[in-house]
Amino acid sequence: MVRGAEIRFVGEVGSAGETSTVRIYPEYCQGLLGVDGYSHLILLYWMHLRDDEENRRTLRVVPRRHEGAPLTGVFASRSPSRPNPIGLAVVKVEAVEGCTLRVSGLDALEGSPIIDVKPYQPRADSVPDARAPDWTLRGPTT
């Protein structure tokens, strides 16, 4: 068991919508060097509105945004209620302006803390023959 682990938030969602802004804190801004060379990024964020004991105890869910989805384990879903409320989104980079990213495709809420920013690399991050249950084909893309 790892003891003393600590997550350091590197920024937060400034505005959410079709196009969202992500403000990276000044002490981490230098880490953005080179991200403008990528069309897409992977954002890991903290689903802060689900960070309570009730939501962290959730182990089974019926995914609400997928019509006809069956009862499934939380690890087989994208439910925001989970033991560690960590979200993941692949976003399109619209602009990098100083310490602010302007992106599309982010499903995080305004004020959500950003855990990390990683480049999306098609060679490593795309799995052409991946499979998933049929119920995941209905509903939103995330």
DSSP output for 26-81:
GGGGGGGTTGGG-SEEEEEEE-GGG-SHHHHT--EE--TTSTTPPPEEGGGS--S-
- The token pair at 59 is 């182990």
Question: Is 2.40.30.70 the CATH classification of the domain at 11-121?
Answer: yes
Q: What is the C-alpha separation between 101 and 104, in angstroms, rounded?
A: 10
If you count them, how many residues does the chain have? 142
Spell out the domain ranges in the chain: 11-121
- Is the pLDDT confidence value at 4 over 80? no
- pLDDT tens, 60-78? 999 887 888 899 999 999 8
How high is the pLDDT of residue 135? 85
Other C-beta atoms lying within 10 Å of the C-beta of residue 68: 10
- The token pair at 94 is 């619209």
Residue at 96: amino acid letter: V
How high is the pLDDT of residue 142? 61
- Is the pLDDT confidence value at 3 over 80? no
- pLDDT tens, 8-37? 999 999 999 999 999 999 999 999 999 999
How high is the pLDDT of residue 28? 98
Q: Nearest to residue 22, comparing CAs of 82, 92, 84?
A: 92
- Is the pLDDT confidence value at 1 over 80? no
